[in-house]
Structure 1
Amino acid sequence: MAGSKFMSYLRGEQSKPGEKKLLRKLDFFILTFCCLMYFANYLDRSNLNNAYVSGMKEDLDFQGNQLNLINTIFTVGYILGQVPSNLALLYFKPRIFFPTMMLIWGGLTMVTAAVKNPQGIMGIRFLLGLAESTTFVGTHYILGSWYTERELGKRSGIFTASGLAGQMFGGFIQTGIHSSLDGARGMAGWRWLFIIDGLITVPIALYGLFLFPDTPHTTTAPYLTESERQLARERVPPIEKEPIKLNLAFVKQVFSTWHWYGFVMLWVIAGETESFSTNGLLGLYLKAHPTNNYTVAQLNNYPTGVAAVGIVSTLFWATLTDFLGGKRYLVGYWIGITGVVTSAMILAPNSSTATVMGAYYWAGSVYACQATFFAWANDVMRYKNAAWRSVVIASMNMGSNVINAWWPLVFYAADMAPWFTRGMYAMIGCSIAMAIWTAGVVWFSVRDEKREAFERSNAEEVLEKAEATIEEKV
């Protein structure tokens, strides 16, 4: 019985006439563009580490923790753009805003190919962070605007997996470029990587410009009939009748409830439990291995397994938590277990290379929190006003990146390779905190659900009494 229900869920359910056809159209046009955009986004982010281990370090004479410093500068730009870029989606059509940002970051990526020193990369990566800031949180806002609680997790998982695919294929792309284009027209292979990654963004941006459907209440997509547009609006909460005013009253609204604090801190902790993967520790471990020497191809290809594990884990947990009725919190407990065990495996005396690599691969499963936690925030805030939800979602990523701006410098600097001992203990602490904070968010969410159910019950009781009084008078 459970198996048949699960297969029915995977195929998609239709509660209203035409809903299945509408979902097919939305999935195609929304997910293809958002996934391609995030794929290109991750290519542009991960290519720096790929280039670093493929000759850029030596060509530009990197010293000490300059690589980490560049990543920190990118993060600062990324932080500053989070909330403004997400609020911009309330005032500019997403089909205009997303492609514009793509073309900007694609151009900046190509300019990176001409740098002569690490300092040049620092300035470019700051601007790149600003341009890329809307992609992740902006897409989660859009997905929460179109899809119901029953549908959201799976779509969020597919979107997140596309970014991990970009990270994974970035290694293979760099390997191919290094072997086929290294030295072509007098340029090193790592420089060609930035040019090719930048060019990839152009056709994707044009696709979004012409075919992205915006939001249910503003869409003019030619492939949606008027009845389908109406159905799309009926499936989601109505928009506010009054224009959203971004004033002091709105700020007080955001900060006067638990939602901002609960979900921002949830993602702050979760972001650091991803540190093994997001900071490319496996590649740095292999590069600085105390006894083994690895080729450029191995240094680029072996870490791709981390992203592959992340893709499988993301799709598994996103789909499972949808099927279980939105129990996104289960991922928080999985993260807690994973972080503690994998850190202990790496810290263990005389750990073999296979054990350490296995731990880093397993740690890649923590990527599942990206889809499930943002879907969780969208679920809980579905009936809050759009600007409030937008700010909370953007603040989650902003808060995480505020910590990421300095966390790698303290715990995962490149010159701490291969063991990152300090970072292993930090990971254990974060993983324990993850489990505890997840339980706290569950408590507040359940409390709110009970309050809302009680208020609805009282409202229905008052209505029934009023109707009974009217009948008596008649």
Structure 2
Amino acid sequence: MSSINKDIDISTIENTHVVPNDPELEAREKALVRKLDMRLVPMLTFLYICQRLDNSNIGNAKVAGLQTDLGLSNFQYSWAISIYTLGVMAMQIPSNMILERSRPSIYLPTLIAAWSVVSAMTALVHDYKSLLLVRFFLGITESGYWCGAVFVLSTFYKPREIAMRNSIFYCGNWLSGALGGAFAGAIIDGMEGKAGLPGWRWLFIIEGCITFVVAFFAIWALPDYPATTSWLTDDEKDLAVRRLGQGKPKEKFSFTGLKSALIDYKIWVFIIIFMAIQTGGQLNYFMPQIIQDIGYTGSMTQYMTIPVYVFAAILSLIVALLSDRQQVRSYYIAFCMSLAVIGYIFQIATTNKALLFFSLFLCGGGVWASLGVSLAWLGDCVPGPRDKKAIGFALLNMISQLSNFYGPQLYTNPPRYLVANIVILVYMSIGVVLCFGLRFLLVRANRRLDDKYGVPVVEKKQVIPDDRDEGDVAPETGVNKNFRYLL
């Protein structure tokens, strides 16, 4: 702790000068970030892969016989996907409010164990009603993980670091798609007829059991918060808090964070953008069917989804890396969404099978690559206080889940799915416009902060002192007065 006393007090520096960084402090910070990158990010990503596998494997089960065995119409199958969203929406905000006041290392693994049991129980469904019931409770048990994990990441990483970590985390979605196709093909083919059960039932049993085992390891691997994580040293805990420049979290529960989140226009802009992305993301559930309609059959239907997810993952990492390095969000999100727009134009305008398959790369890559940077931009736009940020992420995911409710209902006219493609095309175009509109508003907000507090006096890599008395915390942002919104 002795090195902390050597830190430069920015309050003693004139606003016209930039505070130089402390080389010793910068080295300690790099070591801390490496430790977080080695433990926090991989574990959250791995758990997200498990969550996506347990959710989206219904798409693989559908083409393997679930729809036929249960006697489902296309309309009923779409509702089986949509009902999941009602469960998710019911628990988003309550879950993150609990998480913000509890221990993530205990709370998140509890959710994981619960959803793994529900997912495995999908193997027991025998008709449409029982499938709806299981999918609804799967939504309830899975609802808290995504928004909780993204929130936890935002409490450990700076704005200049978070896009890449969010994208690595969200690669769990695409890796689950790629692995899901491979796992589904292997499990369904290898287990078909074993113990008198069709392969699609074994798919739910095996993947659910794997996730249940993983939940126990998560208790040891996951953190709590920067000041309370057991696998950080006292010096690392102090630095983890100070480097974000946030004030001390409130100790007593209140609805202040909920109120602040509800009246923040930036969150509502992100909700619309995210609903566009989530609507486009329904491709995840119908890609095996689309590929089958293109002409692939059997296990190849599952395996041909893999290159689309791999492309999306690579594009996401490249975009996030460039966004973090250049400290620019809006242009990269708009670029990705524009790729999706082009892809959906192909989906609408052509019947050429080669072009249709190529368009899946543009649609999937453009939609999913925009997610990591979008989440980072939300964190940039809602830097604090901690309770507001927690509810902001939950509010975003809760309302944007509406797209997961109505989205599957758009895919009811195969094989072209024109209604879905047209709606998503329009929605993604609106998202591009909103990116530039929000950028314009944030430029004005930064100018107001400059006028009130002066030009920021720290470098981008500077460790900003933690003002426990909150004397240097700007009420407009909830963090240090040197913070400015990324554009």
TM-score, normalised via structure 1 length = 0.87
Alpha carbons of structure 1 residues 324 and 139: separation in structure 2 relative to 1, 3 Å: same
Mapped pair 1:343 → 2:344? yes
Q: Which residue of 1 aligns with 2:355?
A: 355
Aligned mates of 2:308, 2:90 — CA distance in 1: 29
Aligned mates of 2:434, 2:93 — CA distance in 1: 23
Mapped pair 1:231 → 2:239? yes
Alpha carbons of structure 1 residues 453 and 119: separation in structure 2 relative to 1, 3 Å: same
Q: Which residue of 2 aligns with 1:431?
A: 428
Q: Which residue of 1 aligns with 2:205?
A: 195
Q: Which residue of 2 aligns with 1:373?
A: 374
Alpha carbons of structure 1 residues 244 and 368: separation in structure 2 relative to 1, 3 Å: farther
Q: Deviation digits for residues 397-445 of structure 1, max 9, x if unmatched?
A: 1121113211321x212xx111011222212211220111111111222
Alpha carbons of structure 1 residues 339 and 242: separation in structure 2 relative to 1, 3 Å: closer
Q: How far did residue 360 of structure 1 move?
A: 1.0
Alpha carbons of structure 1 residues 254 and 426: separation in structure 2 relative to 1, 3 Å: same
User: Where does 1:165-184 land on structure 2 (aligned, <5 Å)?
Assistant: 165-184=175-194
Q: How far did residue 338 of structure 1 move?
A: 1.8
Structure with greater helix percent: 1
User: Where does 1:225-304 land on structure 2 (aligned, <5 Å)?
Assistant: 225-240=233-248, 242-243=250-251, 245-247=253-255, 250-275=257-282, 277-280=283-286, 282-289=287-294, 292=295, 294-304=296-306
Mapped pair 1:412 → 2:411? yes
Alpha carbons of structure 1 residues 163 and 458: separation in structure 2 relative to 1, 3 Å: closer
Q: Which residue of 2 aligns with 1:392?
A: 392
Q: How far did residue 211 of structure 1 move?
A: 2.8
Q: How far did residue 179 of structure 1 move?
A: 1.8
Aligned mates of 2:105, 2:200 — CA distance in 1: 32
* Structure 1 portions without partners, runs of 5+: 1-12, 464-474
Checking the alignment, whether the CA contact within 8 Å between 2:382 and 2:392 is kept in structure 1 is: no
User: Where does 1:34-53 land on structure 2 (aligned, <5 Å)?
Assistant: 34-53=44-63
Checking the alignment, whether the CA contact within 8 Å between 2:174 and 2:312 is kept in structure 1 is: yes
* Over 4 Å off, 4+ runs: none
Q: How far did residue 251 of structure 1 move?
A: 4.3
Q: Deviation digits for residues 324-350 of structure 1, max 9, x if unmatched?
A: 11x12123322342233212212225x
Q: How far did residue 68 of structure 1 move?
A: 0.7
Aligned mates of 1:450, 1:42 — CA distance in 2: 41
Aligned mates of 2:285, 2:425 — CA distance in 1: 17
Checking the alignment, whether the CA contact within 8 Å between 1:273 and 1:335 is kept in structure 2 is: no
Q: Compare 175-184 and 339-348 and name the one that shifted more.
A: 339-348
Alpha carbons of structure 1 residues 458 and 287: separation in structure 2 relative to 1, 3 Å: closer
Aligned mates of 1:311, 1:114 — CA distance in 2: 33
Checking the alignment, whether the CA contact within 8 Å between 1:412 and 1:423 is kept in structure 2 is: yes
Aligned mates of 1:206, 1:367 — CA distance in 2: 30
Q: How far did residue 159 of structure 1 move?
A: 0.4
Q: Which residue of 2 aligns with 1:313?
A: 315
Checking the alignment, whether the CA contact within 8 Å between 1:306 and 1:363 is kept in structure 2 is: no
Checking the alignment, whether the CA contact within 8 Å between 1:153 and 1:321 is kept in structure 2 is: yes
Alpha carbons of structure 1 residues 81 and 379: separation in structure 2 relative to 1, 3 Å: same
Q: Which residue of 2 aligns with 1:333?
A: 334
Q: Which residue of 1 aligns with 2:324?
A: 322
Aligned mates of 1:32, 1:203 — CA distance in 2: 17
Aligned mates of 1:426, 1:211 — CA distance in 2: 41
Equivalent pairs, count: 435
Report the AA paired with residue 398 of structure 1: M
SS, match of residue 16 in structure 1 = helix
Mapped pair 1:445 → 2:442? yes
User: Where does 1:59-70 land on structure 2 (aligned, <5 Å)?
Assistant: 59-70=69-80
Alpha carbons of structure 1 residues 361 and 381: separation in structure 2 relative to 1, 3 Å: same
Report the AA paired with residue 307 of structure 2: G
SS, match of residue 218 in structure 1 = coil
Report the AA paired with residue 284 of structure 1: Q
Report the AA paired with residue 412 of structure 1: Y
Q: How far did residue 134 of structure 1 move?
A: 1.5
* Structure 2 portions without partners, runs of 5+: 1-22, 458-470, 472-487
Q: How far did residue 51 of structure 1 move?
A: 0.4
Q: How far did residue 241 of structure 1 move?
A: 5.4
TM-score, normalised via structure 2 length = 0.85
SS, match of residue 156 in structure 1 = helix
